[in-house]
């Protein structure tokens, strides 16, 4: 059943939406897009972890009380059974539903560059891509708030990786965020100067001998594979291949063949707790 508009003149109100209220509003959800269950679960996860913020993008009903925006938010409240504060708009034009979310979505770089991060350098898309790739060992879709916290926590490692990979003229296939992320993770475990040498060998192809062969093997693999970076699982396999090459290089261990490591070799400090 459609909801009733408030009796006062306000059409835009900040409200605490309880699971019971969410259930009542969802019951009258008769005109909306198909539900994406994975997005409901992700929103519920963010609510449970304290990453929900009430913005102007809340819940909206048309002039007849029909829900036209916010069904995934309401379902997430039901899923986690936690009340949240939302802005709720009553009396929208049903035609508004055609243009809701029909806009340019803010990228992770957009979000971080607009935030109030106090950094000793100018943040770039490569910094953000490196941070996101560092987080890809977990398969959840991270929020911008989580990415920001992660960036602050690992800013020194990220900036080191940027210097090791991105501060030269770009080279196709050799300059990528997955390689930078692997170096950033290794920064917590290996000698920094040796890691910088690894980046130089990858870039130039010039080595000092067999003790550098692991970097040459990775470089050759990057240059000869049609789609070395791939997507999803392929990127994770590439990350583990980087791990294997970096560890062998830092140990001056010659490699005839380069296979992916069976698991992530370089854990972040919080992953070792």
Beta bridge partners of 85: 16
Burial (Cβ within 10 Å: 0-12, 13-18, ≥19) of residue 194: middle
Same domain, 120 and 83: no
What is the structure's pLDDT at 105?
Answer: 72
The percent of residues in the chain predicted with pLDDT above 90, rounded, is 56
Same domain, 167 and 55: no
Same domain, 23 and 148: no
Same domain, 69 and 130: no
Same domain, 168 and 250: yes
Same domain, 54 and 120: no
| Residue 59 in domain | yes
Q: Are strands 12-17 and 84-92 parallel, antiparallel or unpaired?
A: antiparallel
Domain boundary among 98, 129, 160: 98
Tens of pLDDT, residue by residue over 101-122, are 766 677 888 888 877 778 888 9
What is the structure's pLDDT at 213?
Answer: 96
Domain boundary among 98, 128, 161: 98
What is the structure's pLDDT at 97?
Answer: 76
| Residue 5 in domain | no
| Residue 6 in domain | no
| Residue 181 in domain | yes
Same domain, 130 and 38: no
Same domain, 212 and 149: yes
Residue written as token pair 């692991």 = 214
User: 105: which DSSP letter?
Assistant: P
Residue 49 has pLDDT above 60, yes or no: yes
179 phi-psi bin (left φ>0, alpha ψ -120 to 50, beta other): alpha
pLDDT category of residue 193 using cuts at 50, 70 and 90? very high
Residue 6 has pLDDT above 70, yes or no: no
Q: What is the mean pLDDT of residues 191-213?
A: 95
| Residue 271 in domain | no
Same domain, 193 and 149: yes
Same domain, 172 and 62: no
What is the structure's pLDDT at 235?
Answer: 79
Query: What's the domain range around 33?
Result: 12-98
| Residue 103 in domain | no
Lowest mean pLDDT among 92-101, 130-139, 206-215, 223-232: 223-232
- 131 contacts: CB under 8 Å, gap ≥ 6: 147, 150, 151, 154, 158, 181
Q: What is the mean pLDDT of residues 125-153?
A: 86
**pTM value?**
0.72
Phi, psi of 228, rounded to the nearest 5 degrees: -65, -30
What is the structure's pLDDT at 9?
Answer: 44
Q: What is the CATH number of the domain that holds 49?
A: 3.90.1530
Domain boundary among 98, 125, 158: 98
Same domain, 247 and 128: yes
| Residue 272 in domain | no
Tens of pLDDT, residue by residue over 57-80, are 889 998 888 888 899 999 999 999
Distance, in Å, from the CA atom of 185 to the CA atom of 138, rounded to the nearest integer, reads 14
| Residue 54 in domain | yes
What is the structure's pLDDT at 63?
Answer: 84
What is the tally of structural domains in the chain? 2
Same domain, 121 and 211: yes
């Amino acid at each position: 059943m459609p909801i009733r508009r408030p009796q006062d003149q306000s059409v835009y109100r900040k409200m605490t939406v309880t699971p019971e209220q969410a259930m009542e509003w969802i019951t009258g959800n008769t005109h909306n897009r198909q539900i994406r269950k994975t997005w409901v679960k992700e929103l519920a996860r963010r609510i449970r972890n304290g990453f929900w913020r009430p913005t102007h993008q809340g819940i909206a009903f048309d002039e007849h009380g029909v829900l036209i925006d916010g069904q995934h938010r309401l379902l997430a409240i039901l899923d986690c059974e936690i009340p949240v504060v939302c802005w709720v708009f009553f009396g929208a034009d049903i035609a508004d539903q055609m243009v809701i979310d029909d806009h340019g979505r803010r990228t992770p770089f957009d979000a971080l560059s607009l935030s109030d991060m106090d950094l000793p350098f100018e943040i770039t898309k490569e910094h953000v891509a490196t941070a996101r790739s560092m987080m890809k060992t977990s398969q959840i879709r991270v929020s911008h708030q989580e990415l920001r916290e992660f960036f602050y926590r690992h800013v020194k490692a990220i900036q080191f990786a940027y210097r090791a990979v991105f501060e030269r003229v770009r080279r196709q296939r050799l300059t990528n965020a997955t390689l930078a992320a692997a170096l950033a993770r290794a920064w917590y475990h290996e000698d920094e100067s040796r890691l910088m040498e690894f980046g130089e060998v990858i870039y130039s192809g010039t080595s000092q001998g067999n003790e550098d062969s692991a970097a040459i093997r990775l470089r050759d693999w990057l240059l000869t594979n049609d789609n070395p970076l791939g997507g999803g699982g392929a990127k994770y396999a590439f990350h583990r291949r980087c791990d294997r090459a970096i560890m062998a290089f830092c140990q001056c261990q010659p490699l005839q063949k380069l296979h992916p490591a069976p698991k992530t070799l370089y854990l972040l400090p919080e992953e070792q707790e």
